[in-house]
Amino acid sequence: MSEPTHHVHKVVPPKVYLAVFASLLFFTALTLGVSYLELGVFNAVAALAIACIKGTLVVLFFMHIRYSSKLTKLTISAGFFTFIVLITMTMTDYISRAWGMW
Amino acid sequence: MDSQAIATLPEHEQQAHEHPDYVRHHFASADQQRETANFGMWLFLLTEIMFFSGLFAAYLIYRNWYYPAFVAGSHYMIIWAGTLNTAVLICSSFTMAMGVYSAEMRNRKALIRWLSLTLLLGFVFLGIKAYEWHAEWVEHHVPGLNFSIEDFTHVNPAYPADKPLSPDMAEKTQTYFSLYFAMTGMHALHMCIGCGILIFLIFQAWGGRYTNGHMNTVENFGLYWHFVDIVWIFLYPLLYLISRHQ
């Protein structure tokens, strides 16, 4: 058995929480502002991109994934990967079944 | 701890050490117990992600099928309420994170303060949500209970550029509102469960349960609370924002 890599538990300082909190509020204001612009399909793209950034910030810092062990990181990545596979398979089915018939 | 900490340690390492009393006998150390609890919580959250994904996938597909109905339906959302609720939940995620930090610092008073603030913000969120649901009830937008297509076969006064929908497409706004109530309702149910657990945690924290070094429970509840926040971070643009200009 190889030596396990040592993972030091890190206490996240409140400064980091405050910075993440401020960015989340900023991105909320930004997504609201962008929704008032006329961007066509890019309204949805921009809104979802901002939501993804916000979600990632919460996962990395509030949920401590940035500081957690490789096992936890790998498990969560595997979960998201499975999620993307399932969504992609569902969508390819719906997109290819009846082009423009709905 | 590392990835192999989950595995049982070899026999010779299981000699009697001095352990804090909150470490269960089948764990080698407090760190291992913490890592294991954390890992288990994440597995649960992954099943929750899959659960909500089903609703999001349904929303995506039906929005493509009945696009005009979804646009017309979302034009009746109360934007300020959704935005305010997003801000409230983000604040509550911050207070929850500070609660976890206080438990880590073994500061009992701060922990109780931050947890209570989180609970308060949770109630504010549910209050605003209830206000919106009531408005939708009054406007006859609740499918299965008091739905009327009236609003959708006429021009929405707030969006004068909208064309009125044909009666059969107007019927499809029920799909939008069904998904709206299913998604926000399931999210609100998670909030209610979260508030219930928070009340329990505050009582326990009062007795000093989480400020003696044992903070797995607070930490894992924090993960749950942040997860519910993330769900709303995606619900907000999908339900309120992306159809404003179509």
What pLDDT does A5 receive? Answer: 54
Q: Does any domain span residue B38?
A: no
Place of tokens 């890599």: A5
HSE, CB side, 13 Å, CA atoms: give it for residue A67: 12
Q: How confident is the model at residue B76 (pLDDT cuts 50, 70, 90)?
A: very high
Helix, strand, coil: what percent of chain B each, to 5? 70, 0, 30
Q: How far apart are the C-alpha atoms of A41 and B156, rounded to whole Å?
A: 22
Q: Does any domain span residue B123?
A: yes
Phi, psi of B27 (to 5 degrees): -105, 145
Q: Does any domain span residue B5?
A: no
Average predicted confidence (pLDDT) for chain B: 91
Query: Which tens digit of pLDDT belongs to each residue from A39-96?
Result: 888 999 999 999 999 999 999 999 999 999 999 999 999 999 999 999 999 888 887 8
Say whether residue A99 is in contact with chain B using an 8 A CB cutoff: no
The answer to whether B6 and A71 are in contact (CB under 8 A) is yes
3-state secondary structure of B78: coil
Q: Does any domain span residue B226?
A: yes
Mean predicted confidence (pLDDT) in B85-102: 97
DSSP letters spanning A24-89:
HHHHHHHHHHHHTS--TTHHHHHHHHHHHHHHHHIIIIIT-GGGS-HHHHHHHHHHHHHHHHHHHH
Phi, psi of A84 (to 5 degrees): -65, -40
Q: If residue B171 lies in a helix (H) or strand (E), which one and from where to where?
A: helix B167-171
Q: How far is B103 from chain A (nearest CA, A)?
A: 11
Q: Does any domain span residue B16?
A: no
The answer for A 40-59 residues in CB contact with B (under 8 A) is: 40, 43-44, 47-48, 50-51, 54-55, 58-59
Domain count, chain B: 1
Residues of A in contact with B13 (CB under 8 A): none
User: Measured between CB atoms, which of A7, A14, A21 is closest to B101?
Assistant: A14
Q: How far is B34 from chain A (nearest CA, A)?
A: 10
User: Measured between CB atoms, which of B4, B104, B246 is closest to A4?
Assistant: B4
Which DSSP symbol is given to B150? G
Q: What's the complex ipTM?
A: 0.89
3-state secondary structure of B199: helix
Residue ranges of domains in chain A: 12-67, 68-102
**B173-206 and B67-74 helices cross at what angle (nearest 10)?**
50
Of A7, A26, A24, A25, the C-alpha closest to A66 is A7
Q: Does any domain span residue B21?
A: no
User: Measured between CB atoms, which of A36, A58, A74 is closest to B226?
Assistant: A58
Q: Does any domain span residue B34?
A: no
Of B163, B154, B147, B178, the C-alpha closest to B63 is B178
- CATH number, domain containing residue B220: 1.20.120.80
Residues of A in contact with B61 (CB under 8 A): 90-91, 94
Query: In chain B, what percentage of residues exceed pLDDT 70?
Result: 92
Q: B123 is in which domain, residue-wise?
A: 51-241
What pLDDT does B212 receive? Answer: 87
B98:A48 CB<8 A:
no
